[in-house]
Amino acid sequence: MTHLITSDRRSLGVSFPTANQANVVVWAPLAIHVAIKIYGNPAAIPLKKEELGYWRLTTSQIRPNDLYTFILNGQQEYSDPISLCQPQGVHGPSQAIDTASFRWEDQSWVNPPLEKYLLYEIHTGTFTPEGTFQSLESKLDYLKALGINAIEIMPVAQFSDTRDWGYDGVYTFAVQNSYGGANALQHLINACHFRGIAVVLDVVYNHFGPEGSYVSEFGPYLTDKYHTPWGKAINFYDAWCDGIRHYVLENALMWFRDFHVDALRLDAVYAFKDFSPVHILQELRQQVDLLMEITGRQHHLLVECDLNDPRFIDPLTRQGYGMNAQWMDEFHHSLRVAIGEEKTGYYADFDGLANLAKSYRDGYVYDGQFSTVRKKFFGRKADIDSGQKFIVFSQNHDQVGNRKQGERSSQLYSYNALKLLAGAVLVSPYIPLLFMGEEWGETNPFFYFVSYSKPELIDAVRQGRQEEFATSHPDEKVADPQTEETYKEAKLQWNLLEQSPHQSLLWYYQTLIALRQQLPALYHLDRQQIDVIDDPEKETLTIHRWHEDQHVLCLMNFAKQPQSIPLQIVGDEHTLWQKLLDSADPQWQLHPKLETSTAPEFVSGSETIRLQAESFILYAQNHEKSRFHLPDPISPRLYLS
């Protein structure tokens, strides 16, 4: 099948290899006759059937911006499953566009090594009031000032109407029209690269959305043999699976090649039902490696996976799937239980501090132990030294949006706890990810939202959400995912940047991010150069990280009262530790006169440090405060318009 893929150009759908010529390729292995109807032309044009179920046409009759559909077996009319543009939505005709016509200005752009990424997850529709790529572009200077060098955009594949998380896309190749479409996305990525910001795109290859998907009319994209939480599984292994494998590989290559995306985040790869000799992820790794050889550009593959199976992130040379990194939910679960999250649902498997300490050391918390939630022995140890294989966070779209009330951390925990959570993530030996708005303590919820047109589907989604939360807080109402009010309530409040304590929290995040980027012991992600001591009784955690002769000491108090920590971990015992950041210092406090830190500016390895309740302190050796470049505080008025 891989011989059908051409790395330097798209081999599916409608493309324009020359100014006056279009190639049309569609996979419809069970069809008897396929024709393309070009709007404005008097008659449909038949395609020629070729091997392996592909139909092909070379013609000068279709031009960029033309609307078109396919007619199957002389009867039913459908939009293109490889459509790049759906200007009239999921039920309308496709529009031919030439993505190669965009004039890129990022020739000098170099994608940073993955270990240098500091990720910031964005939902395009709710990140700004306008909810478009263009308005997102207007916030790039803000993100740069914050210290972000990589944004992760939630899925943009065309979905029903204008309101959706993006995980219910039905045109995998088409960029959501209400966001601005393909050209606006290219313009955004070009602007990101100009500012030194990498772009990660979230893609969904585990299911199609429930409204507007017509791929099954063209061929067996889905299989009855296997099922996932979303219904029939994508056909990666059953009869005629080569066509859907080609579809997925071609889509991934398109984002890298035609849109200059720097990395893909593959949603829920645990739902890939593939028992082929070469797993679809391995084949994807091979194809992306080949593309990188041709273009000279670097691309990363990130996955969401909760199987605790290092095979996903092991290289091909070790019979792994070759993914560069995975989201690490277990770090999140341990951290949230440590800060006070109720141990229900999947949190029931975690005891907080001890598990958090293990995650700092090992990545996976469960690497062979018995899981009471899963009711089986679960996981395998990740035998890797590099921390860049894991992406960690204190919140993300899933962990916020799948709560009954859609509460962000700012609505669940104290102001001091927010600073502690930020410190716990940003001093980890892993790649950190922030969820949009967390850096200023956004208070609006982030609900699950959709916009469907079929009454039976709307009712099913509403009922599904009610049933999902039936046993948790039954007195609380579940937000209606269908209403526009639910969507609007999820939008960020940029005006909070000018208000207290949001402005102080933002400055705290800026400072913490700058420390991570400037301290070698923090930005070198070596899992072998970390010591962790947890004290469950006092609810404290001490992390010692080092690189060569530079050491950092991170002290965390998760308790609701002050605690004292004896310094048990030292680097050079003859060198003093200097305090670089203390979340209990007056400048970061809600009430500076009432809550002040008592931690000294300098300490030795034999002292005892008193930590304020829910606080975080960072000391360093061989990196004096005078060498730390403090960024200028963000001026909110520059980014509010």
What confidence tier does 3 reach under pLDDT thresholds 50, 70, 90? low
Q: Residue 187's closest CA among 202, 179, 170?
A: 179
Do 255 and 316 fall within a single domain?
Answer: yes
Q: Is residue 437 part of a domain?
A: yes
Do 134 and 42 fall within a single domain?
Answer: no
Q: What is the pLDDT of residue 626?
A: 79
Do 445 and 582 fall within a single domain?
Answer: no
Query: In sequence order, what are the residues at sequence separation of 6 or more whose Cβ sits closer than 8 angstroms to the Cβ of residue 528?
Result: 385
Distance CA(345)–CA(371), nearest Å, equals 12
- Tally the domains of the chain: 3
H helix runs in 195-239, sequence order: 215-218
User: Reduced to 3 states, what is the DSSP secondary structure of residue 62?
Assistant: coil
Query: In sequence order, what are the residues at sequence separation of 6 or more whose Cβ sits closer than 8 angstroms to the Cβ of residue 180?
Result: 132, 133, 134
Q: Is residue 639 part of a domain?
A: no
Peptide bond into 501 cis (omega under 30): yes
Query: In sequence order, what are the residues at sequence separation of 6 or more whose Cβ sits closer than 8 angstroms to the Cβ of residue 205?
Result: 172, 234, 248, 251, 266, 267, 269, 272, 280
Q: Residue 564's closest CA among 523, 601, 617, 487?
A: 617
When mean pLDDT is compared across 58-72, 188-202, 460-474, the lowest value belongs to 460-474
Q: Is residue 443 part of a domain?
A: yes
Q: Residue 87's closest CA among 62, 70, 65, 63?
A: 65
Any idea what the CATH number is for the domain that residue 50 is in? 2.60.40.10
Average per-residue pLDDT for the chain: 94
Residue of 164, 250, 262, 304 marked active site: 304
Any idea what the CATH number is for the domain that residue 612 is in? 2.60.40.1180
**Above 70 in pLDDT, residue 2?**
no
**Above 90 in pLDDT, residue 411?**
yes
Number of Cα atoms under 13 Å in the Cβ half of residue 629: 4
Distance CA(434)–CA(122), nearest Å, equals 9
Do 194 and 319 fall within a single domain?
Answer: yes
Q: Residue 1's closest CA among 53, 47, 56, 57?
A: 53
Do 77 and 149 fall within a single domain?
Answer: no
**Across 489-576, where does the E strand assignment appear?**
530-535, 540-547, 550-557, 563-566
Do 495 and 533 fall within a single domain?
Answer: no
Q: Residue 56's closest CA among 7, 13, 96, 93?
A: 13
Any idea what the CATH number is for the domain that residue 140 is in? 3.20.20.80
Q: Copy the structure tokens of residue 246.
A: 């080609």
Q: Copy the structure tokens of residue 393.
A: 């966070």
Q: Is residue 215 part of a domain?
A: no
Do 307 and 410 fall within a single domain?
Answer: yes
Residue of 267, 314, 535, 585 marked active site: 267
Do 486 and 544 fall within a single domain?
Answer: no
Do 97 and 123 fall within a single domain?
Answer: no
- The domain boundary, picked from 76, 101, 126, lies at 101
Distance CA(83)–CA(75), nearest Å, equals 20
Task: State which residues form the domain around 556.
Answer: 528-627
Question: Does the annotation mark 439 as catalytic?
Answer: no
Give bridge partners of residue 607 from the DSSP assignment: none
> Tell me: the pLDDT tens digits for 566-614?
887 665 667 789 999 999 999 998 876 666 778 999 988 778 999 999 9
What confidence tier does 499 reach under pLDDT thresholds 50, 70, 90? very high
Q: Is residue 334 part of a domain?
A: yes
- The domain boundary, picked from 68, 101, 134, lies at 101
Do 425 and 337 fall within a single domain?
Answer: yes
Q: How far is CA 49 from CA 9, 68, 69, 236, 281, in A?
A: 21, 19, 17, 23, 29
Q: Report which DSSP code applies to 257.
A: H
> Tell me: the pLDDT tens digits for 86-126?
999 999 999 999 999 999 999 999 999 999 999 999 999 99
Q: Is residue 467 part of a domain?
A: no
Query: With a threshold of 0.85, does the pTM exceed it?
Result: yes
Do 55 and 17 fall within a single domain?
Answer: yes
Whether 123 and 139 have beta carbons less than 8 Å apart is answered as no
**Above 80 in pLDDT, residue 565?**
yes
Question: Does the annotation mark 342 as catalytic?
Answer: no
Q: Is residue 234 part of a domain?
A: no
- How deeply is 593 buried, as exposed, middle or buried, from its count of CB atoms within 10 A (0-12, 13-18, 19+)? exposed
Whether 517 and 533 have beta carbons less than 8 Å apart is answered as no
> Tell me: the pLDDT tens digits for 225-283?
999 999 999 999 999 999 999 999 999 999 999 999 999 999 999 999 999 999 999 99
Q: Is residue 406 part of a domain?
A: yes
Do 288 and 366 fall within a single domain?
Answer: yes
- The domain boundary, picked from 72, 101, 130, lies at 101
